[in-house]
Amino acid sequence: MKHKILIAGMFVASFFSSCSDDYLDAPAQSTLDESVIFSSPGLAEGAIDGIKVPFAETNSYRGRFLPFYGLNTDTEWYNSSQTVSDASDLCTYDAKPNNSQMNTTNNAWAMMYSGIERANVCIRGLREYGNPTPGSQLGYLLGEALTLRAIYYADLIKAWGDVPARFEPVNNATLYIEKSSRDVIYKQIIADLGEAATLVPWPGETAATSSVERINKAFVKGFRARLAMAASGFQQYPDGIRRSTDPELSVGNMYALALAESRAVISSGSAHLEPSFETFWKKYNQEYITAGGESLWELPFADGRGRMLFTFAVRHATNDQFHANGANRGGTAGPLPTVFYDYDQTDTRRDVTCVPYRYGTAVNNIAKQELGALNTWYFGKYRYEWMTRFVTSTNDDGVNKIYMRYAEVLLIAAEAANELEGPAAAAPYLKEIRRRAFPAAVQAVKVENYVDALASKEAMFNAIVDENKFEFTGEMERKQALIRWNLLKTKLDEAKAKMSRLSQRTGEYADVPATLYFKYKSDNVSLDIYGLNRGETTAPGADYTQFPWTWTGATADTKINTLYKAGVNPDNRQFWPIWQVFIDGSNGKLTNDYSY
């Protein structure tokens, strides 16, 4: 059964309400309450559950952060990027501090700090009253609290750059504080995860770590590796785009840490790739949450909370045989139209990731697949039709957000090994990723020969950059990766040029057919499509219907040029501004950088 982060118990709600009301004076009764709560595993676990509640609040991860952060890249975009709206501004690198989608007191920024404050209270209480040792339940809960706090901070840094650092519960002196260097925060949360890794078991070792909705050692170490790569990577600082100048966050130090942590996960045998890419994503939509497989940790939304399919699924025009989640659900974002054609035709990830059809208006509650347009694709990783639970909520679907999976651990290991030890050390990890992607009949060429030919560090690095695209499109991890590689604008401009060539069928897209042919399969719902593959230009038979495969709607240049807003340099807009409501409420302590 899914872990319900919205129902953490009446005790949790009242406890954190009391903490919020009384933190300025910290009365003796609150201290007594903490001594009871954090010395009792059952009560302490309820308090830790309370740290997770802000993930699912209306304007937090659920409805604002997850639907918008990570778009637009060289693989993913907001499907309405060409429209003039505050929603599109969030994706096209032109968000303003008064953005109407975000400028509210209950938005993601506030909810992240709410989660951090809850974590700070729990961490303090467990340290003072709980004797949280490795192998104990209270030790596990401390490791979980440290990791949850690190998640909130990692996402704050990812979206806003330098932010206020709070690692103790708020008091009179810290009610209003200035931003801290993200380097300080990175070092703290990387150290916290090092401690957490000594406290939490591997996946499946205990009841708590039997589900991907609870923290486990494989996730903690993998997440620590991800943060080490990000902390040492390029990013926009107030004085320009650069790597950190803190010697502790040097490439040498952080890549060595990332390699050690990723190799520890790999050698543990506690996680593995699902043998089939499609099967993995089907199990995800079926809400399979048993730990020890490919998913390392997921944001645990309750059945009636969370909007992953509501936002990103293949588009459904109406309620139909697959859901009753409302009209026009899914499809707000999708792969760039070039992505499908950039995959090798034999790559099994392609048809899972990139979907060219939507479900039309239901007739007698049955909807059929319908072709759209060359410039509008959908993420096939998210599908109502793969769910086993019928969604009836009009606002939420309850499907979790995968925060990290084992494939990323393998690619981190490959990248760090390539940098520190050379391409031969990276090759086994890249081969493992590609071996899952390609049928056995072509693996000699597509896996062994392809990887063995990557003889230089540069060639291996470029292959890893490409592999990240093919593996993670639709998971909104690409933006931070492009930033840390110092490739954001470079890859966005490359994508714009490629889309222009695709729309005109020139260059590497000259052999993309301009006409598709379709008929319905025996279920009279699913399309049998011919003409998507390069070179498929001969009509397959009289029982197929022709369909023009063209760039429609706004002119091609208008759509393409809104990958990022005209006149904006995305390298100077790597972060969102701090929203005006928080600037105004900061007692003059917070300001925006980057000319916002």
pLDDT by residue (tens digit) across 425-445? 999 999 999 999 999 999 999
| Residue 9: per-residue pLDDT | 37
Q: How confident is the model at residue 558 (pLDDT cuts 50, 70, 90)?
A: confident
| pLDDT (0 to 100) of residue 158 | 98
Over range 116-122, report the average pLDDT. 98
d(CA 16, CA 64): 23
pLDDT given for residue 595 in this prediction: 87
Backbone angles phi, psi at 554, to 5 degrees: -60, 160
Residue 117 lies in a domain: yes
Mean pLDDT of 408-423: 98
Q: Does the pLDDT of residue 314 top 80, yes or no? A: yes
Task: Give the model's pLDDT for residue 1.
Answer: 44
Judge whether 126 lies within some domain: yes
- Choose among 240, 390, 410, 408: nearest CA to 309: 390
336-361 pLDDT, tens per residue? 999 999 999 999 999 999 999 999 99
What is the residue range of 149's domain?
A: 1-60+106-200
Q: Rounded to an integer, what is the distance from CA 290 to the centroid of its chain?
A: 20
Q: How many helices (H) and strands (E) does the chain have?
A: 23, 13
Give strand pairing partners of 78: 333
pLDDT in tens, 24-54: 233 334 555 899 999 999 999 999 999 999 9
Is it the case that residue 552 has pLDDT exceeding 90?
Answer: no
pLDDT at 18: 42
**Interior/surface letters 511-538, b for 16+ CB within 10 angstroms, e for the rest:** ebbeebbbeeeeeebebebbbbeeebee
Check whether 373 has a pLDDT greater than 80.
Answer: yes
d(Cα 249, Cα 187) in Å, to the nearest integer? 8
| Residue 24 falls inside a structural domain | yes
pLDDT more than 70, % of the chain: 94
415 pLDDT band, cuts 50/70/90, is very high
Two structure tokens written together for 90: 């969030």
Task: Give the position of tokens 């930033």.
Answer: 483
pLDDT at residue number 14: 47
> Among 344, 352, 308, which residue's Cα sits nearest to residue 472?
352
In this model, does residue 83 exceed pLDDT 70? yes
| Residue 32 confidence (pLDDT) | 54
Q: Which residues pair with 158 in a beta bridge?
A: none
> Could you tell me the pLDDT band of residue 553, with boundaries at 50, 70 and 90?
confident
Instruction: Map tokens 């650069």 to a residue.
Output: 242
The H or E element spanning position 527 is strand 527-530
Angle 217-232/406-421 helices, nearest 10 degrees?
Answer: 50
Residue 579 per-residue DSSP state? P
Q: Is residue 444 part of a domain?
A: no
Residue 312 inside a domain? The answer is: no
Q: Confidence band (pLDDT; 50, 70, 90) for 554?
A: low
Q: Is residue 354 part of a domain?
A: no
Which token pair is 359? 């479900």
Q: Which of 17-21, 168-172, 568-572 is predicted least confidently?
A: 17-21
Does residue 319 belong to any structural domain of this protein?
A: no
pLDDT at residue 577 is higher than 60: yes
Residues 125, 47: contact at Cβ < 8 Å?
yes
Q: Cα(141)–Cα(455) distance, rounded to whole angstroms?
A: 46
pLDDT score for 31: 52
Q: Is residue 324 pLDDT above 60, yes or no?
A: yes
**Cβ distance 398 to 436 under 8 Å?**
no
Instruction: Tell whether the model's pLDDT for residue 169 goes beyond 70.
Output: yes
Looking at the domain assignment, is residue 251 inside a domain? no
Pick left, alpha or beta for residue 370 (phi over 0 → left; psi -120 to 50 → alpha; otherwise beta): beta
Q: What is the mean pLDDT of residues 355-381?
A: 97
- Report DSSP state, residue 211: B
Q: How many residues does the chain have?
A: 596
Average pLDDT on 401-413 reads 98
- The count of structural domains within the chain is 1
The pLDDT value recorded for residue 13 is: 46
Say if residues 139 and 199 touch (Cβ distance below 8 Å): yes
| Whether 28 contacts 16, CB under 8 Å | no
- SS3 state at 376: strand
Q: Which two tokens stand for residue 172?
A: 């009179």
CATH code at position 118: 1.25.40.890
Are residues 277 and 437 in contact, defined by beta-carbon separation less than 8 angstroms?
yes
Write the DSSP symbol of residue 208. Answer: G
| pLDDT at residue 560 greater than cutoff 50 | yes
Q: Is 92 helix (H, G, I), strand (E, B) or coil?
A: coil
For all residues of the chain together, what is the average pLDDT? 94
